Structure 1
């Protein structure tokens, strides 16, 4: 049995202004295959995502946030 390495990424998100924004992003990112946990902070305008890099890339997470209508500065 092989165990995949887990990776935690933290990144800024622009365009959030309420709890609904946080919920929208958490649902969009949390629905991705390979994402194990997501926590979005309105106070810090950031997100922390734990993922399995063998299943999903950091860019795919960023794209999910952008598809939900928010910006991820890169």
Structure 2
């Protein structure tokens, strides 16, 4: 299991936090997800592939821009 921090564009409010947390947290292999709204980052703990995390973030309406 690993912990990876990703940069995310477009999050501006608590609704954004909830949407990203729900989508990423629902991925197989994700043990925990923490969203840092002011920094525009998410910290994902687990074994999910980066492409899957990016897809979940996109499903929530935002853009994963890489590792932070």
- Would you call these one fold, judging by a TM-score over 0.5? yes
Partner of 2:41: 46
> Residue by residue, what CA displacement relative to the aligned partner does 1:37-65 show, whole Å, maximum 9, x if unpaired?
0000111100000012xxx3111011100
TM-score with structure 2 length normalisation? 0.90
Larger radius of gyration: 1
CA RMSD for the aligned pairs?
0.9
The count of corresponding residues between Structure 1 and Structure 2 is 66
By percentage of residues, which structure has more helix? 2
* Moved >3 Å (runs of 4+): none
Q: Could you say what secondary structure the match of 2:5 adopts? A: strand
Task: Tell me the equivalent position of 1:69.
Answer: 61
